[in-house]
Chain A
């Protein structure tokens, strides 16, 4: 046992740093630190995912709201003429900015992340597209424009991406709800592990608790002595998990920017825009680390007090 400290000469009356009343080794199990670290890692990951998705959805939604597309089926032989007429109608409408006719090569470029660059698109009935940028959303009457296009040009459809935006919003909401749900479950699991660990620590320190009780330390003092270790443990475990998660966020961003051009990265870029976990994700992770530390400490405190109250009754 390394508990047997060397005797000090009596003359030397400086005092060694006071030993904790509840020995740290009896509480701060590596296993519990690891559990807290893992929980914090998972919680931060789900927070990061939530932030990623909602940022991307915001950006995407804003971008889409400023742009509509006119689609014209490309099977008709006089498609080029129709495209020019449709573009003219769009230009004439109020509040419209630039109108860009996209060639079939442009369409192929758009599909490249999914189909690859080598794919021969000429056989596919890919509709021709006209991108219409909206200069002033207040002046634009998309319904009127749509009616006019459909009436004058057969096969023309105005796509205002509403279906997309609606789906996007729904997806973002679902993801956020899912992320929050996971967060709550992870926190609950953390609390339960801390409850068990605190009970074990109290059982292991029964003598200490008894002596403190008899000398009139009071429940709150005793709880504080345990809580102090658990706060430290929660901070340590939480920080380990949080840092690991942030590292993963960074690596993920790095993977996408380094890998730009590869099909995998292009797919991600096309799906979610710049897939970097934003500041909100990092802040959320930081908040989670602190929350886990506070929860750990508070849980241990409450567990100790419950234990003492029950012990006093028996």
Chain B
């Protein structure tokens, strides 16, 4: 079931998806996404997840 619906197009208008219910990131989230030190830890964590998947799923 879709959470973000296509808005019913009013005649003549384009059927653009209604994204007004999509959560906007907070200012803090945006800062975290750009913070080099914090992102370095995310980088290590993402790589270890890939490696776990290789071990778990590639058998």
Q: Do A and B bind each other?
A: no
Which residues on A are within 8 Å of B, measured CB to CB? none
